[in-house]
């Protein structure tokens, strides 16, 4: 199992997003998954010009010379794509550029599904799941709404599974060294482990063993979201 993760925080490894992402990826590694992490701030990714030359003139090849040329082969080989980002308005620019440049990996044969135009990844792209990890400084879960929709729509547009999201509001509290913080990070690690082992972050309507985890996570102070047909189902979190 290959996992490719991108941390879109401008503060990179020192930001709140890294506090949740790192144990999440550690849990995935413990399953034996091969995990590679990039910081978008360190990458030179130019904006997409929208000419769609990668669809028409040279299918599957982007004409822009930057670090995406190094990432495209890795993206084609990965099984799970993890997008980690703080909530901006709505995304940090480097993360937005990365998402836009994924168009090169899409097959331009479009189809209508449930009243929407959709595409698919090209046959040589092995990505089957996309996951979101996100933090924000405000308290309400509604602050994640736009970022959730972006990643959910991306998965729909390329016809792969949106396997869920790990979200943490009022993330500055994670910098407190106490038992609650340690439990939150433990829950993030368990979520990464479960994703690889079970194929999805724990959600509603799941077996009893995962339901028990749901109640543990509720006490550990972290939110788990699962999107199905644009309905957001959330697992509660403990404000402190």
- Listed by start position, the domains of the chain span 2-235
Give the C-alpha separation, 40 to 12, whole Å: 8
pLDDT tens per residue across span 6-39? 999 999 999 999 999 999 999 999 999 999 999 9
Backbone phi, psi, residue 129, to 5°: -140, 145
Across 40-175, the runs of DSSP E, i.e. the strands, are 80-86, 106-113, 116-121, 129-135, 161-168
Which ranges of the chain have pLDDT less than 70? 203-240
pLDDT of residue 153: 96
Give the C-alpha separation, 21 to 189, whole Å: 9
Give the pTM.
Answer: 0.84
Across the chain, the runs of DSSP E, i.e. the strands, are 2-7, 34-39, 80-86, 106-113, 116-121, 129-135, 161-168, 223-228, 231-235
| Topology given in CATH for the domain delimited by 2-235 | Rossmann fold (3.40.50)
The residues, ordered by sequence, that sit 6+ positions from 84 with a Cβ below 8 Å of its Cβ are 5, 6, 7, 8, 9, 17, 20, 21, 132, 133, 134
Helices 179-198, 208-220: axis angle to 10 degrees equals 150
pLDDT of residue 159: 96
Give the C-alpha separation, 188 to 223, whole Å: 9
Backbone phi, psi, residue 152, to 5°: -65, -45
Give the C-alpha separation, 19 to 223, whole Å: 14
Can you name the residues that pair with 223 across neighbouring β-strands? 167
> Contact, 131 vs 81, CB < 8 A?
yes
pLDDT of residue 215: 37
């Amino acid at each position: 199992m290959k996992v490719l993760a991108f941390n879109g925080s401008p503060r990179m490894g020192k930001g709140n997003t890294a506090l949740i992402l790192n144990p999440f990826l550690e849990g995935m590694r413990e399953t034996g998954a091969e995990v590679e992490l990039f910081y978008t701030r360190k990458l030179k990714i130019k904006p997409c010009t929208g000419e769609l030359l990668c669809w028409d003139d040279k299918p599957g090849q982007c004409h822009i010379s930057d670090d995406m040329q190094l990432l495209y082969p890795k993206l084609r080989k990965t099984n799970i794509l993890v997008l980690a980002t703080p909530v901006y308005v709505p995304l940090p620019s480097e993360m937005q550029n990365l998402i836009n440049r994924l168009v090169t990996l899409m097959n331009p044969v479009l189809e209508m599904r449930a009243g929407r135009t959709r595409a698919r990844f090209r046959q040589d792209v092995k990505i089957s799941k996309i996951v979101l990890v996100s933090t924000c400084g405000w308290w309400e879960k509604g602050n994640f709404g736009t970022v959730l929709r972006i990643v959910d729509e991306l998965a729909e547009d390329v016809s792969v599974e949106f396997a869920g999201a790990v979200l943490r509001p009022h993330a500055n509290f994670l910098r407190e060294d106490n038992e609650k913080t340690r439990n939150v990070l433990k829950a993030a690690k368990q979520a990464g482990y479960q994703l690889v082992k079970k194929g999805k972050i724990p959600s509603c309507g799941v077996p009893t063993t995962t339901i028990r985890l749901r109640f543990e996570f509720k006490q550990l102070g972290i939110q788990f979201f699962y999107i199905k047909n644009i309905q957001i189902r959330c697992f509660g979190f403990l404000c402190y």
